[in-house]
Structure formats: C-alpha cells, structure tokens
Amino acid sequence: MMKRSLFLVAVLAAAGGMLAAGGCMKEAQLLVALPEFVNTPDGMSLQPDGSIILSVPNFNDKKSPSVMVRITPENKAELWYTLPVAPGPLGRIFPMGVARAPSGDLFLADNQFMDDTGQKSRLWRIIVKDGKPGDMVLVAKGFNVANGVAVSGGYVYVTESVLEAGSKPLASAVLRFRLDEENVQLATPLAKDPHVITAFKSRKEQWGFGADGIAFDSKGNLFIGLFGEGEMYKITFDKDGKVASNTLFAKDPCLITCDGMSCDPRTDNLYVADSAANAIQVICSCGKVRTLAKNGDVKDKLQGKLDQPCEALVRGNTIVVTNMDWPFPGFVNTKWQMPATLSVINLDDK
C-alpha cells in the first residue's frame, strides 16, 4: 500500500510539472465593454501604435449600421468609420476579416453569406491616411463567403468558406490578390478562378463552413483553420510563390471549431478562437494543441468571460478576444445579450 501511495504521489507530481511546463488554463477578463451601437463584433487588425481596428457587421440587430471601431492603446472604444451602403445592387457591407497592408490601408472581407443567391461577397480596401479612413476601393466581387484576411509578401489572402455551394464534402479555398488589384470580377463557378491558390474538403456537416481562420508564421508559412472540421492546415510556398504543399497540421479532440486566429512571431504559436467550445486554443509550432482558456455559457457579459469567441489577436503578452455572441445550434453559447465585449487573456499570469 505504501509503495502504491508513493507511486501515486510521484505520478501526480509529474503531472503537475507537465501541466506547469505546458501552461495551465488561464482566465479571460474584460478588456472593454463596447458602445451600444455595437452588437456583433468580428475581426481585428493590430496597428503599429498598439491600437486595434475592429470590424462590426452587427448581424444580431441589423438596425445598427456596419461600422469599424478603434480600440485605443489605453483600451478605449471609439467609432472609427461608419461603412457606407454601397451604390446600386451592392448594398450594405458586412465587415468580417480585416488586415493591414504595409501602406496602412485596410483590406476588408465583406461577407454576404446570408444572401442565398450566391457570389455576393466582396473584398474591399479602405484607404487610410494619417490613421484616418478615406475612400473605399472595391478589390474583388464574386465570393460566396469571404471570411478571413491576411497580408503577406505583396499579396492579400482571403479565405473562402464555401467554394462550391451544396458540395459534399464541402469545398472551401484560399484566394490571393496583388495589393494593387481593383474591380476584379471573380469567375463563375468560383472554383475556376485563377485567384484560387489552394482548396480544402470538409466532411462534417454540423456547421457548413470550411476555410476560416488565417495567419502566417515567422517563416512565411500559411495556416488555415477549417471552421466546422476543427482542423488546421499548413500551406508552404516554393521560391516562385506557388503553393508547394497543403497538409493537415493539427487535429485534436479539444479543437472543435477554427475561427479567427493569429500567430505570435516570437514563438510561432497559433492562438485560435474555438467558437463552438467557448475557448481559445493554442497550437504550438510542432502541431500540438492545448486549451488556453475556456468557460461555459455566459450569464454576465461584464465579467469578461469568453462568449462565442471569433478572433484571437496577439497584442504584446496578451491575447485580445472578440466575443461575437451570435448563437448557432450546438454551440456552448445559447443566447445573445448586450453589451458586446472584448476579452483579454494575460499570458504572463501564473
């Protein structure tokens, strides 16, 4: 009995050491309660001064217009831009993924996926001068579900969550554009367009979205999360910029969905919003997955808990999290409530 007890103590001590080495789960806290004109926040782009530009499609209550909000370095929320209603048949813009170009301009995915006529989503560029938004330029139209956006090496990359509507298994893709392209009309069917650089197949049918989260590591490798599949893919490029490989990089029972994400270039860790699980997952450079923070269905938004997180953004030694709070069947989050919030997870906390 004594030997068995000592063995159990040794096992528990070893497990505690491994947990400490791998990092204990952390608590999300409130970063900012957003103004009342924000009801459904989504994508984020970190700016050189430490501020964040947040996209707000306001899907929960469309009486509020689509806007872009600036989170100052001091974590104050302020209206940055009210998105115009596009002329003619283009209509309202629903901003989701957003990424900053070296010029300071912002590329913005306009997700029209609730329109069942197909190929209505778009990619826009907001011209930015001295930190202030100016004109909007239409980069491309004819996406089905334009979603995540990333800029790297003179190109803008966009995840297309539904490459072929009704396809089984579900087809999704990544499209690439030069930073100076404008007014591109994508092909019909979209899968035939030359801007498509790689594609994916999703076999789970619970949530019908494929390629979603997007991020580059410090070595120039591209990572794409398949939302409903809960899988992370790694895309490498040859010396000419063509796709050399597209392989499964990470899959784990704890990783349910892959929404918006970012990469910490200091470690090449990927921080992934797992919307369905109310969690932020970490995928290390070796492909191992662990849960950074997780909680149940939120009752009080002002506690700052994760509430259907849709984007995880590395800012210094913290992870800033957008809480979309736009319930889907099967998610931990069951009810939309105000105010909309951003959470923060301090990586330095023990």
State the pLDDT at residue 113: 83
CB 144 within 8 A of CB 209: no
Query: Could you tell me the two tokens for 206?
Result: 């619970």
Residues 6+ apart with CB under 8 A from 255: 230, 231, 232, 272, 274, 281, 283, 289
Predicted confidence at residue 3, as pLDDT, reads 35
Element (H, E) at 134: strand 132-143
- Listing DSSP states for 237-284 in one string gives E-TTS-EEEEEEEEE-TT-----SEEEETTTTEEEEEETTTTEEEEE-
Tens digits of residue pLDDT in 241-298? 999 999 999 999 999 999 999 999 999 999 999 999 999 999 999 999 999 999 999 9
pLDDT band for 349, please (50, 70, 90 cuts).
Answer: low
CATH number of 27-346: 2.120.10.30
Tokens coding 319? 């992870």
pLDDT on residue 22 = 47
294 exposure class (CB count in 10 Å sphere: 0-12, 13-18, 19+): buried
Q: How far apart are CA 104 and CA 139, in angstroms?
A: 16
Lowest-pLDDT range of 1-5, 147-151, 233-237, 304-308: 1-5
pTM here is: 0.92
How do residues 155-202 score in pLDDT, each as one tens digit? 999 999 999 999 999 999 999 999 999 999 999 999 999 999 999 999
Short-list 249, 254, 301, 304, CA closest to 274: 254
Q: Report residue 331 as tokens.
A: 């998610």
CA 24/CA 27 separation, integer angstroms: 10
pLDDT tier at 11 (50, 70, 90 boundaries)?
very low
Tokens of 54: 């947040």
Nearest to 261 by CA among 218, 212, 226, 213: 213
Is pLDDT of 7 > 70? no
The answer to whether residues 323 and 309 touch, using CB atoms and an 8 Å cutoff, is yes
Query: Which pLDDT does position 84 carry in this prediction?
Result: 86
Beta strands in 57-131 (DSSP E): 67-71, 77-82, 95-100, 106-110, 121-129
Q: Residue 10 region, left (φ>0) first, then alpha (ψ -120 to 50), else beta? A: alpha
User: In the beta sheet, which residues pair with residue 155?
Assistant: 152, 178
**Cα distances (angstroms) measured from residue 242 to each of 44, 215, 221, 269, 282:** 28, 17, 12, 24, 28
Decide if pLDDT at 8 tops 50.
no
